[in-house]
Structures are given as C-alpha cells and as structure tokens.
Amino acid sequence: MPGSSCVLAALVLIEQDQKFLLVRESKEGCRGKWFFPGGRSAPDESILQTAVREVREETGVLAELTGLLYIDQLTGSASVGGANRLRFVFTGKAIGGALKQAEDEHSICAGWFSGEEIECLELRSPFVRKIIGIHRENPPPLPMAMVHFLTPEDLLLEQP
C-alpha cells in the first residue's frame, strides 16, 4: 500500500548459566515491567546492528548474536498508529560489559533470572514466557550464517 510504513524491531534472548537476561522497562505504559532487551531499528541500521545496540543500551552487556529464533508480524490494522511491524527475536550470548544498575532513558536496570524467578516477575507481556518456551522446546534457532541482509553491492549483482 503506498505510503504505508514498516517498523523493524529486534529482541534478544540471552541465556547464561540457566538464567535469562531481562530489562526493567523505563518507558511510560510499561514502566517497571520486565522484558527482553530490544527495540526499533534506527534509520540506516540493519536489524542485526539494532539487536546488538539495544542489548548494550538497555543492559550494559555486550552481546554476540548466535541465531534467529522467531519472527512475527503485526499488520497496520492491528497496531497502534497503523504501521506494520516486523519483530525479529534473536538468540545471543554475553561476551562482555557490566550489568546495568542505574536508570536512564533506555531502561531502569537489567538482571539475570531463572525460569522459576521469571514466573514471579511482573512481565510486560506473556510473550516472554512464550519465547522461552519456544527456545526450550524447539530445534535450535537458524544459525546466524544463514541470516543475510543484502548490501548495495548484493543488489547490483541481482540486477538483470
């Protein structure tokens, strides 16, 4: 549809020592609730860059993406503001950084939680439990080597 827009968003599921990395939201509407680190892509940013940046900003943890676990789409008619949204959920591993403990514009804090501890948290959405279930019960995610985003050079090679 002409003039329609599509928001790209990335979330990252990081499990370490049987605990999952979550952030406590700072934005209005879900303030104080727990969710996966993630957010919307900035202009001219790949979804992979978005995922890594959002983990760093919201948790203080440096992440390396390890796979693509899940994709969902929200159509404009169902979303707030009428934009379409594509949301990518990646798996990742912590490779450095320090866990964030001070509130800023990105989040209140971050923490590592076991599945049992997550059951006691006030979550932003049941989506957290859904994604952890998918992670535990399904085949491994699509390896990052199979996730490719076209560069301008790639597009030139596809021209007839």
Which CATH superfamily includes the segment(s) 6-158?
Nucleoside Triphosphate Pyrophosphohydrolase (3.90.79.10)
Poorest-pLDDT segment among 8-22, 119-133, 141-155: 141-155
**pLDDT tens, 121-147?**
999 999 999 999 999 998 778 888 888
Whether residue 157 has pLDDT greater than 90: no
Question: 103 to each of 11, 26, 84, 109, how far by Cα in Å?
Answer: 20, 8, 30, 6
Whether residue 64 has pLDDT greater than 90: yes
Other CB atoms within 10 Å distance of the CB of residue 111: 17
* Helix residue spans in 8-75 (DSSP H): 47-59
Q: What is the pLDDT of residue 122?
A: 97
Q: The whole model's pTM is what?
A: 0.89
Q: Is 117 exposed, middle or buried (0-12, 13-18, 19+ CB in 10 A)?
A: middle
